Structure 1
Amino acid sequence: MGEAKFTVDLNADIGEGFGIWRIGDDEAMIGMITSANLACGFHAGDPAGLLEVCRMAAEAGAHIGAQVSYRDLHGFGRRFIDVTFEDLFADVIYQIGALQAVAEVAGTRVSYVKPHGALYNSVATHPVQARAVTAAVHAVNPELPLLGQPGSELFRQASMVGLRTVAEVFADRAYHPDGTLVSRREAGAVLHDPAAIAERAVRMVKDGVVAAVDGSVVPVHVQSICVHGDSPGAPHIAAAVWEQLRQHDIDLQPFT
Protein backbone atom coordinates (compact mmCIF):
# COMPACT_ATOMS: atom_id res chain seq x y z
CA MET A 1 0.00 0.00 0.00
CA GLY A 2 1.44 3.35 -1.03
CA GLU A 3 1.72 6.54 0.94
CA ALA A 4 -1.66 7.99 1.92
CA LYS A 5 -2.79 10.80 -0.37
CA PHE A 6 -5.74 11.81 1.79
CA THR A 7 -6.12 12.46 5.52
CA VAL A 8 -9.41 12.67 7.41
CA ASP A 9 -10.73 12.61 10.96
CA LEU A 10 -13.35 10.07 12.06
CA ASN A 11 -15.64 11.20 14.88
CA ALA A 12 -18.54 9.69 16.80
CA ASP A 13 -20.91 10.69 19.60
CA ILE A 14 -20.18 8.67 22.73
CA GLY A 15 -20.70 8.90 26.49
CA GLU A 16 -24.43 9.25 25.93
CA GLY A 17 -25.65 6.97 28.68
CA PHE A 18 -27.17 8.23 31.91
CA GLY A 19 -27.07 6.30 35.19
CA ILE A 20 -28.14 2.72 34.57
CA TRP A 21 -29.22 3.53 30.99
CA ARG A 22 -26.50 2.94 28.41
CA ILE A 23 -26.66 4.01 24.77
CA GLY A 24 -24.18 2.51 22.35
CA ASP A 25 -20.98 0.56 22.98
CA ASP A 26 -18.46 3.22 23.97
CA GLU A 27 -15.64 0.75 24.57
CA ALA A 28 -16.01 -0.77 21.10
CA MET A 29 -16.32 2.60 19.38
CA ILE A 30 -13.40 4.38 21.05
CA GLY A 31 -10.78 2.23 19.34
CA MET A 32 -12.11 2.97 15.86
CA ILE A 33 -12.41 6.76 15.93
CA THR A 34 -9.91 9.60 16.11
CA SER A 35 -12.23 12.16 17.75
CA ALA A 36 -14.82 11.47 20.44
CA ASN A 37 -17.78 13.85 20.84
CA LEU A 38 -18.69 13.51 24.52
CA ALA A 39 -22.04 14.46 25.99
CA CYS A 40 -21.74 17.05 28.75
CA GLY A 41 -24.70 16.18 30.96
CA PHE A 42 -27.40 18.29 29.33
CA HIS A 43 -28.79 15.80 26.79
CA ALA A 44 -27.01 12.72 28.19
CA GLY A 45 -23.93 11.72 30.15
CA ASP A 46 -23.46 11.37 33.90
CA PRO A 47 -20.20 12.35 35.66
CA ALA A 48 -19.03 8.83 36.52
CA GLY A 49 -19.74 7.56 33.02
CA LEU A 50 -18.01 10.51 31.38
CA LEU A 51 -14.93 10.06 33.54
CA GLU A 52 -14.76 6.43 32.43
CA VAL A 53 -15.11 7.38 28.75
CA CYS A 54 -12.51 10.14 29.08
CA ARG A 55 -10.07 7.60 30.51
CA MET A 56 -10.79 5.24 27.61
CA ALA A 57 -10.28 8.05 25.10
CA ALA A 58 -7.00 9.07 26.72
CA GLU A 59 -5.74 5.48 26.58
CA ALA A 60 -6.84 5.04 22.95
CA GLY A 61 -5.38 8.37 21.84
CA ALA A 62 -8.73 9.74 20.64
CA HIS A 63 -9.17 13.49 20.98
CA ILE A 64 -12.12 14.69 23.06
CA GLY A 65 -14.74 17.20 22.00
CA ALA A 66 -17.45 18.79 24.13
CA GLN A 67 -20.79 17.94 22.53
CA VAL A 68 -22.88 20.81 23.86
CA SER A 69 -26.66 20.78 23.70
CA TYR A 70 -29.89 22.22 24.94
CA ARG A 71 -30.82 21.34 28.53
CA ASP A 72 -33.05 18.45 27.45
CA LEU A 73 -32.40 15.10 29.11
CA HIS A 74 -35.97 13.97 28.51
CA GLY A 75 -35.75 14.54 24.76
CA PHE A 76 -32.08 13.55 24.30
CA GLY A 77 -31.41 17.07 23.06
CA ARG A 78 -33.39 16.52 19.88
CA ARG A 79 -36.10 19.12 20.55
CA PHE A 80 -35.69 22.79 19.62
CA ILE A 81 -35.75 25.15 22.60
CA ASP A 82 -36.26 28.87 22.13
CA VAL A 83 -33.58 29.75 24.66
CA THR A 84 -32.28 33.29 25.12
CA PHE A 85 -28.79 34.35 24.09
CA GLU A 86 -27.75 34.82 27.73
CA ASP A 87 -28.98 31.40 28.85
CA LEU A 88 -27.47 29.51 25.91
CA PHE A 89 -24.19 31.42 26.25
CA ALA A 90 -23.95 30.38 29.92
CA ASP A 91 -25.12 26.81 29.24
CA VAL A 92 -22.40 26.22 26.65
CA ILE A 93 -19.70 27.66 28.93
CA TYR A 94 -20.92 25.43 31.77
CA GLN A 95 -20.89 22.27 29.64
CA ILE A 96 -17.41 22.83 28.24
CA GLY A 97 -16.09 23.61 31.72
CA ALA A 98 -17.63 20.51 33.28
CA LEU A 99 -16.20 18.19 30.65
CA GLN A 100 -12.83 19.93 30.78
CA ALA A 101 -12.52 19.19 34.51
CA VAL A 102 -13.40 15.54 33.99
CA ALA A 103 -11.02 15.25 31.02
CA GLU A 104 -8.11 16.77 32.97
CA VAL A 105 -8.56 14.24 35.78
CA ALA A 106 -8.49 11.49 33.14
CA GLY A 107 -5.21 12.81 31.76
CA THR A 108 -6.55 14.46 28.62
CA ARG A 109 -8.33 17.68 27.60
CA VAL A 110 -11.20 19.11 25.58
CA SER A 111 -9.80 19.75 22.10
CA TYR A 112 -12.87 21.06 20.25
CA VAL A 113 -16.61 21.75 20.51
CA LYS A 114 -19.52 20.32 18.52
CA PRO A 115 -23.22 21.14 19.02
CA HIS A 116 -25.57 18.18 19.42
CA GLY A 117 -28.94 17.28 17.96
CA ALA A 118 -31.50 20.06 17.74
CA LEU A 119 -28.91 22.66 18.68
CA TYR A 120 -26.72 21.49 15.78
CA ASN A 121 -29.65 21.97 13.42
CA SER A 122 -30.67 25.29 14.95
CA VAL A 123 -27.27 26.98 14.76
CA ALA A 124 -27.12 26.18 11.05
CA THR A 125 -29.67 28.95 10.44
CA HIS A 126 -30.50 30.70 13.76
CA PRO A 127 -28.29 33.83 14.11
CA VAL A 128 -28.90 34.44 17.82
CA GLN A 129 -28.24 30.88 18.92
CA ALA A 130 -25.25 30.55 16.59
CA ARG A 131 -23.81 33.74 18.05
CA ALA A 132 -24.39 32.48 21.60
CA VAL A 133 -22.51 29.24 20.90
CA THR A 134 -19.58 30.92 19.18
CA ALA A 135 -19.34 33.64 21.83
CA ALA A 136 -19.31 31.00 24.58
CA VAL A 137 -16.60 28.93 22.92
CA HIS A 138 -14.51 32.05 22.32
CA ALA A 139 -14.96 33.13 25.93
CA VAL A 140 -13.76 29.76 27.26
CA ASN A 141 -10.85 29.36 24.84
CA PRO A 142 -10.52 31.14 21.47
CA GLU A 143 -8.19 28.32 20.33
CA LEU A 144 -10.97 25.69 20.50
CA PRO A 145 -12.17 24.67 17.00
CA LEU A 146 -15.85 24.26 16.19
CA LEU A 147 -16.87 21.06 14.40
CA GLY A 148 -19.98 21.49 12.30
CA GLN A 149 -21.77 22.02 9.02
CA PRO A 150 -19.99 23.97 6.25
CA GLY A 151 -21.87 27.04 5.05
CA SER A 152 -23.86 27.25 8.27
CA GLU A 153 -24.69 30.34 10.30
CA LEU A 154 -22.53 28.83 13.04
CA PHE A 155 -19.49 28.92 10.76
CA ARG A 156 -20.30 32.46 9.65
CA GLN A 157 -20.48 33.64 13.25
CA ALA A 158 -17.31 31.72 14.11
CA SER A 159 -15.37 33.48 11.36
CA MET A 160 -16.47 36.84 12.76
CA VAL A 161 -14.80 36.13 16.11
CA GLY A 162 -11.82 34.27 14.70
CA LEU A 163 -12.70 30.72 15.71
CA ARG A 164 -11.33 27.88 13.61
CA THR A 165 -14.03 25.76 11.96
CA VAL A 166 -13.82 22.12 10.87
CA ALA A 167 -16.14 20.86 8.13
CA GLU A 168 -18.04 17.69 8.96
CA VAL A 169 -19.97 15.19 6.87
CA PHE A 170 -22.20 12.30 7.94
CA ALA A 171 -21.52 8.92 6.38
CA ASP A 172 -24.64 7.36 7.90
CA ARG A 173 -27.18 10.12 7.22
CA ALA A 174 -29.21 10.85 4.08
CA TYR A 175 -28.74 14.20 2.33
CA HIS A 176 -31.12 16.50 0.46
CA PRO A 177 -30.00 17.89 -2.92
CA ASP A 178 -29.22 21.24 -1.23
CA GLY A 179 -26.67 19.54 1.05
CA THR A 180 -28.80 19.58 4.20
CA LEU A 181 -29.53 16.45 6.20
CA VAL A 182 -32.83 14.61 5.88
CA SER A 183 -34.77 14.97 9.14
CA ARG A 184 -34.71 11.99 11.49
CA ARG A 185 -38.51 12.18 11.42
CA GLU A 186 -38.44 10.99 7.80
CA ALA A 187 -38.00 7.41 6.64
CA GLY A 188 -34.50 6.59 5.44
CA ALA A 189 -32.85 9.50 7.24
CA VAL A 190 -30.38 7.19 9.02
CA LEU A 191 -28.48 4.56 7.04
CA HIS A 192 -27.65 1.16 8.55
CA ASP A 193 -25.74 -0.90 5.95
CA PRO A 194 -22.05 -0.88 7.02
CA ALA A 195 -20.74 -1.62 3.51
CA ALA A 196 -22.82 1.12 1.87
CA ILE A 197 -21.90 3.63 4.58
CA ALA A 198 -18.21 2.81 4.21
CA GLU A 199 -18.43 3.25 0.44
CA ARG A 200 -20.09 6.65 0.90
CA ALA A 201 -17.32 7.70 3.30
CA VAL A 202 -14.60 6.84 0.79
CA ARG A 203 -16.41 8.70 -1.99
CA MET A 204 -16.88 11.75 0.22
CA VAL A 205 -13.15 11.96 0.92
CA LYS A 206 -11.70 11.00 -2.47
CA ASP A 207 -14.31 12.54 -4.79
CA GLY A 208 -15.72 15.27 -2.55
CA VAL A 209 -19.33 14.28 -3.29
CA VAL A 210 -22.26 12.38 -1.79
CA ALA A 211 -25.40 11.02 -3.44
CA ALA A 212 -28.59 12.80 -2.33
CA VAL A 213 -31.93 11.06 -1.78
CA ASP A 214 -33.06 12.00 -5.30
CA GLY A 215 -29.94 10.50 -6.87
CA SER A 216 -28.27 13.83 -7.58
CA VAL A 217 -24.62 14.37 -6.66
CA VAL A 218 -23.92 16.91 -3.92
CA PRO A 219 -20.44 18.43 -3.41
CA VAL A 220 -19.10 18.16 0.15
CA HIS A 221 -16.06 19.54 1.94
CA VAL A 222 -14.66 16.88 4.27
CA GLN A 223 -12.32 17.40 7.19
CA SER A 224 -14.11 15.02 9.57
CA ILE A 225 -16.56 12.15 9.05
CA CYS A 226 -19.20 11.39 11.68
CA VAL A 227 -20.65 7.96 12.40
CA HIS A 228 -23.32 7.85 15.07
CA GLY A 229 -22.46 5.87 18.18
CA ASP A 230 -26.12 5.35 19.13
CA SER A 231 -27.14 3.67 15.86
CA PRO A 232 -27.88 -0.09 15.91
CA GLY A 233 -24.67 -1.90 15.01
CA ALA A 234 -22.60 1.28 15.37
CA PRO A 235 -19.29 -0.56 16.09
CA HIS A 236 -19.72 -2.63 12.91
CA ILE A 237 -20.38 0.56 10.93
CA ALA A 238 -17.35 2.33 12.40
CA ALA A 239 -15.16 -0.73 11.72
CA ALA A 240 -16.32 -0.91 8.10
CA VAL A 241 -15.67 2.80 7.55
CA TRP A 242 -12.25 2.58 9.22
CA GLU A 243 -11.24 -0.43 7.13
CA GLN A 244 -12.44 1.00 3.82
CA LEU A 245 -10.72 4.33 4.40
CA ARG A 246 -7.44 2.59 5.18
CA GLN A 247 -7.77 0.27 2.18
CA HIS A 248 -8.12 3.34 -0.06
CA ASP A 249 -4.91 4.92 1.32
CA ILE A 250 -6.84 7.44 3.41
CA ASP A 251 -4.98 8.22 6.62
CA LEU A 252 -7.04 8.70 9.80
CA GLN A 253 -5.85 11.46 12.11
CA PRO A 254 -7.51 13.84 14.59
CA PHE A 255 -8.04 17.30 13.10
CA THR A 256 -6.79 18.98 16.30
Structure 2
Amino acid sequence: MTDTADPTCSTYPMDLNADLGEGFGRWTLTEDEALLTCVTSANVACGFHAGDASVMRRVCDLAAARDVRIGAQVSYRDLAGFGRRAMDVPAGELAAETAYQIGALRVFAEAAGSTVSYVKPHGALYNRVVWDDGQAAAVVEGVLLAGGRPAVLGLPGSKLLAHAEAAGLTAVTEAFADRAYTPQGTLVPRGEEGAVLHDADDVVRRSVGMTVERTVTGVDGSRIPVAARSLCVHGDTPGAAALARRIRAALEDAGVSVRAFA
Protein backbone atom coordinates (compact mmCIF):
# COMPACT_ATOMS: atom_id res chain seq x y z
CA MET A 1 0.00 0.00 0.00
CA THR A 2 1.28 3.47 -0.88
CA ASP A 3 0.57 6.37 1.49
CA THR A 4 0.81 9.51 -0.63
CA ALA A 5 -0.89 12.81 -1.25
CA ASP A 6 -4.50 12.73 -2.46
CA PRO A 7 -4.65 14.91 -5.62
CA THR A 8 -8.40 15.41 -5.18
CA CYS A 9 -8.00 17.15 -1.81
CA SER A 10 -6.73 20.72 -1.48
CA THR A 11 -5.86 20.41 2.19
CA TYR A 12 -4.48 16.89 2.51
CA PRO A 13 -2.22 16.30 5.53
CA MET A 14 1.57 16.57 5.32
CA ASP A 15 4.09 14.98 7.64
CA LEU A 16 7.20 16.99 8.53
CA ASN A 17 10.26 14.86 9.22
CA ALA A 18 13.84 15.62 10.18
CA ASP A 19 17.04 13.67 10.77
CA LEU A 20 17.81 13.54 14.49
CA GLY A 21 20.29 11.92 16.86
CA GLU A 22 23.18 12.59 14.51
CA GLY A 23 25.77 12.85 17.26
CA PHE A 24 28.27 10.49 18.83
CA GLY A 25 29.60 10.57 22.39
CA ARG A 26 30.28 14.18 23.37
CA TRP A 27 29.92 15.39 19.77
CA THR A 28 26.52 16.70 18.67
CA LEU A 29 25.27 17.90 15.31
CA THR A 30 21.48 18.07 15.16
CA GLU A 31 19.24 20.40 17.20
CA ASP A 32 17.23 17.49 18.56
CA GLU A 33 15.20 19.18 21.29
CA ALA A 34 14.35 22.23 19.19
CA LEU A 35 13.39 20.17 16.12
CA LEU A 36 11.15 17.94 18.20
CA THR A 37 8.97 20.95 19.04
CA CYS A 38 7.87 21.31 15.40
CA VAL A 39 8.38 18.10 13.40
CA THR A 40 5.89 15.23 13.41
CA SER A 41 8.32 12.40 12.59
CA ALA A 42 11.91 11.87 13.73
CA ASN A 43 14.40 9.94 11.58
CA VAL A 44 16.75 8.71 14.31
CA ALA A 45 20.32 7.72 13.44
CA CYS A 46 20.91 4.11 14.49
CA GLY A 47 24.67 4.04 15.01
CA PHE A 48 25.97 3.26 11.53
CA HIS A 49 26.40 6.82 10.20
CA ALA A 50 25.92 8.63 13.52
CA GLY A 51 24.32 8.07 16.89
CA ASP A 52 25.17 5.80 19.79
CA ALA A 53 23.15 4.06 22.50
CA SER A 54 22.93 7.13 24.75
CA VAL A 55 21.97 9.42 21.87
CA MET A 56 19.30 7.00 20.60
CA ARG A 57 17.83 6.62 24.07
CA ARG A 58 17.71 10.37 24.68
CA VAL A 59 16.08 11.18 21.34
CA CYS A 60 13.50 8.40 21.72
CA ASP A 61 12.60 9.65 25.19
CA LEU A 62 12.15 13.20 23.89
CA ALA A 63 10.19 12.11 20.81
CA ALA A 64 7.85 9.87 22.77
CA ALA A 65 7.17 12.61 25.33
CA ARG A 66 6.13 14.95 22.50
CA ASP A 67 4.15 12.34 20.55
CA VAL A 68 6.54 12.55 17.61
CA ARG A 69 6.71 9.36 15.56
CA ILE A 70 10.04 7.53 15.69
CA GLY A 71 11.67 6.23 12.52
CA ALA A 72 14.85 4.20 12.08
CA GLN A 73 17.27 6.00 9.78
CA VAL A 74 19.33 3.07 8.55
CA SER A 75 22.63 3.53 6.78
CA TYR A 76 25.65 1.86 5.32
CA ARG A 77 28.25 1.21 8.04
CA ASP A 78 30.16 4.45 7.52
CA LEU A 79 30.74 6.57 10.63
CA ALA A 80 33.80 8.25 9.14
CA GLY A 81 31.93 9.33 6.01
CA PHE A 82 28.63 10.10 7.75
CA GLY A 83 26.95 7.49 5.58
CA ARG A 84 27.40 9.58 2.46
CA ARG A 85 30.09 7.55 0.70
CA ALA A 86 29.19 5.04 -2.00
CA MET A 87 29.66 1.47 -0.78
CA ASP A 88 29.10 -1.99 -2.23
CA VAL A 89 27.59 -4.19 0.48
CA PRO A 90 26.46 -7.77 -0.27
CA ALA A 91 22.67 -8.08 -0.14
CA GLY A 92 22.60 -10.56 2.74
CA GLU A 93 24.90 -8.38 4.81
CA LEU A 94 22.86 -5.27 4.07
CA ALA A 95 19.63 -7.02 5.07
CA ALA A 96 21.17 -8.15 8.37
CA GLU A 97 22.63 -4.72 9.12
CA THR A 98 19.30 -3.04 8.33
CA ALA A 99 17.52 -5.36 10.79
CA TYR A 100 20.27 -4.81 13.36
CA GLN A 101 19.81 -1.03 13.26
CA ILE A 102 16.03 -1.21 13.49
CA GLY A 103 16.26 -3.62 16.40
CA ALA A 104 18.68 -1.40 18.29
CA LEU A 105 16.44 1.63 17.96
CA ARG A 106 13.31 -0.35 18.81
CA VAL A 107 14.70 -1.17 22.27
CA PHE A 108 14.87 2.51 23.15
CA ALA A 109 11.63 3.46 21.40
CA GLU A 110 9.67 0.82 23.29
CA ALA A 111 11.37 1.68 26.58
CA ALA A 112 10.11 5.24 26.02
CA GLY A 113 6.56 3.97 25.48
CA SER A 114 6.63 4.30 21.69
CA THR A 115 7.74 2.12 18.79
CA VAL A 116 9.63 2.30 15.49
CA SER A 117 6.83 3.43 13.17
CA TYR A 118 8.83 3.58 9.95
CA VAL A 119 12.21 3.05 8.32
CA LYS A 120 14.08 5.52 6.13
CA PRO A 121 17.50 4.93 4.55
CA HIS A 122 20.14 7.62 4.96
CA GLY A 123 22.60 9.28 2.63
CA ALA A 124 24.31 7.08 0.06
CA LEU A 125 21.96 4.19 0.84
CA TYR A 126 18.90 6.41 0.29
CA ASN A 127 20.14 7.43 -3.14
CA ARG A 128 21.28 3.91 -4.06
CA VAL A 129 17.91 2.27 -3.39
CA VAL A 130 16.20 4.71 -5.74
CA TRP A 131 17.63 2.77 -8.71
CA ASP A 132 19.45 -0.34 -7.41
CA ASP A 133 16.96 -3.20 -7.34
CA GLY A 134 19.18 -5.56 -5.35
CA GLN A 135 20.06 -3.08 -2.63
CA ALA A 136 16.43 -1.96 -2.36
CA ALA A 137 15.27 -5.56 -1.98
CA ALA A 138 17.91 -6.13 0.70
CA VAL A 139 16.74 -3.16 2.75
CA VAL A 140 13.14 -4.37 2.61
CA GLU A 141 14.30 -7.88 3.56
CA GLY A 142 15.97 -6.31 6.60
CA VAL A 143 12.78 -4.46 7.53
CA LEU A 144 10.83 -7.72 7.40
CA LEU A 145 13.55 -9.54 9.34
CA ALA A 146 13.34 -6.96 12.13
CA GLY A 147 9.58 -7.55 12.44
CA GLY A 148 6.88 -5.14 13.48
CA ARG A 149 6.02 -4.20 9.87
CA PRO A 150 6.92 -0.50 10.01
CA ALA A 151 6.22 1.77 7.05
CA VAL A 152 9.02 2.53 4.59
CA LEU A 153 9.80 6.14 3.64
CA GLY A 154 11.47 6.94 0.33
CA LEU A 155 11.56 8.85 -2.94
CA PRO A 156 8.52 8.53 -5.25
CA GLY A 157 9.14 6.00 -8.00
CA SER A 158 12.06 4.40 -6.20
CA LYS A 159 12.90 0.70 -6.25
CA LEU A 160 12.74 0.81 -2.46
CA LEU A 161 9.08 1.77 -2.34
CA ALA A 162 8.21 -0.74 -5.06
CA HIS A 163 9.75 -3.56 -3.02
CA ALA A 164 8.14 -2.31 0.19
CA GLU A 165 4.73 -2.26 -1.43
CA ALA A 166 5.26 -5.72 -2.94
CA ALA A 167 6.10 -7.01 0.55
CA GLY A 168 2.84 -5.64 1.93
CA LEU A 169 4.46 -2.78 3.81
CA THR A 170 3.11 0.76 3.73
CA ALA A 171 5.21 2.76 1.25
CA VAL A 172 5.32 6.49 2.03
CA THR A 173 6.48 9.02 -0.54
CA GLU A 174 8.79 11.84 0.50
CA ALA A 175 9.92 15.23 -0.80
CA PHE A 176 12.85 17.38 0.35
CA ALA A 177 12.45 20.98 1.41
CA ASP A 178 16.12 21.90 1.16
CA ARG A 179 17.47 19.81 -1.72
CA ALA A 180 17.67 20.54 -5.45
CA TYR A 181 15.93 18.22 -7.91
CA THR A 182 17.07 16.87 -11.27
CA PRO A 183 14.63 16.95 -14.23
CA GLN A 184 14.02 13.24 -13.54
CA GLY A 185 12.68 13.98 -10.05
CA THR A 186 15.71 12.63 -8.18
CA LEU A 187 17.97 14.57 -5.83
CA VAL A 188 20.98 16.42 -7.21
CA PRO A 189 24.08 14.64 -5.81
CA ARG A 190 25.57 16.45 -2.83
CA GLY A 191 28.92 16.77 -4.57
CA GLU A 192 27.41 19.07 -7.19
CA GLU A 193 27.06 22.82 -6.74
CA GLY A 194 23.61 23.90 -5.60
CA ALA A 195 22.57 20.45 -4.35
CA VAL A 196 21.64 21.84 -0.94
CA LEU A 197 19.51 25.00 -0.72
CA HIS A 198 20.51 27.57 1.88
CA ASP A 199 18.12 30.48 1.25
CA ALA A 200 15.46 30.05 3.95
CA ASP A 201 12.84 32.09 2.11
CA ASP A 202 13.29 29.95 -0.99
CA VAL A 203 13.09 26.72 1.02
CA VAL A 204 9.84 27.83 2.67
CA ARG A 205 8.30 28.82 -0.69
CA ARG A 206 9.33 25.50 -2.26
CA SER A 207 7.89 23.57 0.69
CA VAL A 208 4.48 25.20 0.27
CA GLY A 209 4.63 24.72 -3.50
CA MET A 210 5.47 21.03 -3.21
CA THR A 211 2.65 20.55 -0.74
CA VAL A 212 -0.12 22.71 -2.20
CA GLU A 213 0.73 22.94 -5.91
CA ARG A 214 2.42 19.50 -5.93
CA THR A 215 5.28 20.66 -8.13
CA VAL A 216 8.88 21.77 -7.72
CA THR A 217 11.26 23.56 -10.06
CA GLY A 218 14.19 21.41 -11.17
CA VAL A 219 17.73 22.66 -11.68
CA ASP A 220 17.02 23.09 -15.40
CA GLY A 221 13.95 25.24 -14.73
CA SER A 222 11.46 22.49 -15.58
CA ARG A 223 8.37 21.87 -13.43
CA ILE A 224 8.46 18.46 -11.80
CA PRO A 225 5.35 16.82 -10.30
CA VAL A 226 5.56 15.98 -6.59
CA ALA A 227 3.31 13.46 -4.86
CA ALA A 228 4.56 13.28 -1.29
CA ARG A 229 3.02 12.50 2.07
CA SER A 230 6.11 13.57 4.04
CA LEU A 231 8.43 16.56 3.75
CA CYS A 232 12.03 16.33 4.99
CA VAL A 233 14.14 19.07 6.54
CA HIS A 234 17.74 17.95 7.04
CA GLY A 235 18.66 18.14 10.70
CA ASP A 236 22.31 18.96 9.95
CA THR A 237 21.42 22.08 7.98
CA PRO A 238 22.52 25.21 9.92
CA GLY A 239 19.46 26.74 11.57
CA ALA A 240 17.39 23.61 10.85
CA ALA A 241 15.01 24.07 13.79
CA ALA A 242 14.18 27.66 12.91
CA LEU A 243 13.70 26.64 9.29
CA ALA A 244 11.41 23.75 10.25
CA ARG A 245 9.29 26.09 12.37
CA ARG A 246 8.93 28.49 9.45
CA ILE A 247 7.97 25.67 7.08
CA ARG A 248 5.36 24.32 9.46
CA ALA A 249 3.86 27.78 10.02
CA ALA A 250 3.75 28.44 6.27
CA LEU A 251 2.05 25.10 5.58
CA GLU A 252 -0.56 25.69 8.27
CA ASP A 253 -1.16 29.21 6.94
CA ALA A 254 -1.80 27.60 3.54
CA GLY A 255 -4.49 25.38 5.07
CA VAL A 256 -2.39 22.23 5.29
CA SER A 257 -2.86 19.90 8.25
CA VAL A 258 0.65 19.04 9.48
CA ARG A 259 0.52 15.58 11.05
CA ALA A 260 2.40 12.30 11.04
CA PHE A 261 1.67 9.63 8.43
CA ALA A 262 2.41 6.76 10.81
Which residue is equivalent to 1:245?
251
* 1:9-48 to 2 correspondences below 5 Å: 9-48=15-54
**1:118 equivalenced with 2:124 (yes/no):** yes
TM-score by length of 1: 0.96
Q: Report the CA distance between 1:159 and its aligned residue.
A: 2.3
Q: Deviations over 1:106-138 (max 9, x none)?
A: 221110000000000111111111111011112
Note the residue ranges of structure 2 that are not aligned, 5 or more in a row. Answer: 1-9
Give the count of matched residue pairs. Answer: 253
Which residue is equivalent to 1:70?
76
| 8 Å Cα contact 2:156/2:228 also seen in 1 | no
Superposed CA RMSD in Å reads 1.1
Note the residue ranges of structure 1 that are not aligned, 5 or more in a row. Answer: none
* 1:150-189 to 2 correspondences below 5 Å: 150-189=156-195
**1:96 equivalenced with 2:102 (yes/no):** yes
Q: Report the CA distance between 1:143 and its aligned residue.
A: 2.7
Which residue is equivalent to 2:5?
none
TM-score by length of 2: 0.94
Q: Deviations over 1:88-115 (max 9, x none)?
A: 0110010000000011112211100000
Q: Separation in 2 of the partners of 1:164 and 1:6?
A: 18
4+ long deviations beyond 2 Å? 139-143
Which residue is equivalent to 1:208?
214
* 1:226-245 to 2 correspondences below 5 Å: 226-245=232-251
Q: Separation in 2 of the partners of 1:55 and 1:227?
A: 21
Q: Separation in 2 of the partners of 1:6 and 1:127?
A: 31
| 8 Å Cα contact 2:11/2:212 also seen in 1 | no
Q: Separation in 1 of the partners of 2:172 and 2:248?
A: 20
SS in 1 for 2:238: coil
Which moves more between the two structures, 137-146 or 189-198? Answer: 137-146
SS in 1 for 2:13: strand
Q: Separation in 2 of the partners of 1:59 and 1:194?
A: 29
Q: Report the CA distance between 1:142 and its aligned residue.
A: 5.9
